[in-house]
């Protein structure tokens, strides 16, 4: 684990994560970003947009996508990424990819391999933004996901579908049962990870991911195997952390040359 940063608000956390992204893009204008959906990363995209960087050469790979929504569905992750990330940040649409795009039926079986090949051809992900679900999932890697998994089709838990029903008029039956998601092994291949969480509903998942055992039962715990992770969380999401005081001290007392 590299760093756990406890911030005062999602806005502050968003600004911090945006500064990490800006640093990567300054060094490599065509950097490859791993893009998470959900409500958690929104303050990051907002802060990044305010920096008014030229992100036209940046390449992007979404973490996951639902299976079974009609093309153009406003809650498909392609639509969400276009609306919340590509447009506001001025990314080039053709450089931003979502798994399984345009595929259906039997063709979906090959979607994972095709996406992995695409990520490899881009030279791998430089910085992967991650949210975390209450089941401890990252991407859509639900409990039981192999820690070595690559992009593939998964079945969503009832819990995740209920959490995400808010995007589907509160109707869980409208939330797809299946998805295609980058695997935990795919995520580990990214050169750096930034995991974000806000609010008390995420406190248990954050504590299990950061301080619990590395286990497929808490897929996000796989981040402990990565060399370059920044966990950015607000006070409520940090509520279950045993070593919170230590993380605060380590962050505030960083030597200037480490900043």
Residues that bind ligand GLP (CB under 6 A): 36-40, 63-64, 131-133, 139-140, 160, 164
Judging by DSSP bridges, how do beta strands 178-181 and 64-66 pair with one another? antiparallel
Question: What is the C-alpha to C-alpha distance for residues 89 and 244, in angstroms, rounded to an integer?
Answer: 33
Question: Considering beta carbons, is residue 39 or 155 the nearer one to ligand GLP?
Answer: 39
**Closest separation in Å from C-beta 54 to ligand GLP:** 27
**Closest separation in Å from C-beta 77 to ligand GLP:** 8
Question: Considering beta carbons, is residue 64 or 116 the nearer one to ligand GLP?
Answer: 64
**Closest separation in Å from C-beta 251 to ligand GLP:** 23
Question: Considering beta carbons, is residue 139 or 212 the nearer one to ligand GLP?
Answer: 139
Question: Considering beta carbons, is residue 61 or 140 the nearer one to ligand GLP?
Answer: 140
**Closest separation in Å from C-beta 38 to ligand GLP:** 3
- Which residue is nearest to ligand GLP, using beta carbons? 131
Q: How deeply is 93 buried, as exposed, middle or buried, from its count of CB atoms within 10 A (0-12, 13-18, 19+)?
A: exposed
Total residues belonging to the chain? 259
Question: Considering beta carbons, is residue 13 or 38 the nearer one to ligand GLP?
Answer: 38
**Closest separation in Å from C-beta 134 to ligand GLP:** 8
């Amino acid at each position: 684990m590299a760093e756990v940063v406890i911030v005062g608000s999602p806005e502050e956390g968003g600004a911090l994560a945006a500064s990490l992204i800006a640093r990567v893009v300054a060094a490599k204008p065509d950097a490859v970003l791993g893009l998470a959906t959900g409500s958690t990363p929104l303050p990051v995209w907002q802060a990044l947009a305010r920096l008014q960087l030229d992100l036209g050469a940046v390449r992007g790979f979404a973490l996951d996508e639902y299976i079974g929504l009609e093309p153009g569905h406003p809650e498909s992750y392609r639509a969400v990424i276009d609306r919340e990330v590509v447009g506001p940040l001025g990314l080039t649409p053709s450089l931003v990819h979502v798994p399984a795009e345009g595929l259906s039926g039997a063709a979906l079986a090959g979607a994972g391999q095709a996406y992995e090949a695409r990520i490899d051809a881009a030279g791998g992900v430089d910085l992967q933004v991650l949210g975390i679900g209450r089941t401890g999932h990252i991407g859509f890697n639900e409990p039981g996901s192999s820690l070595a998994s690559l992009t593939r089709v998964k079945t969503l838990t009832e819990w995740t579908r209920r959490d995400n029903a808010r995007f589907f008029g509160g109707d869980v039956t409208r939330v797809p049962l299946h998805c295609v998601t980058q695997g935990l092994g795919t995520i580990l291949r990214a050169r750096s990870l930034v995991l974000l969480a806000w609010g008390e509903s995420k406190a248990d998942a954050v504590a299990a991911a950061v301080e619990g055992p590395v286990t497929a039962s808490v897929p996000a715990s796989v981040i402990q195997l990565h060399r370059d992770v920044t966990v950015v969380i607000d006070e409520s999401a940090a509520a279950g952390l045993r070593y919170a005081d230590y993380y605060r001290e380590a962050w505030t007392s960083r030597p200037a040359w480490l900043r």
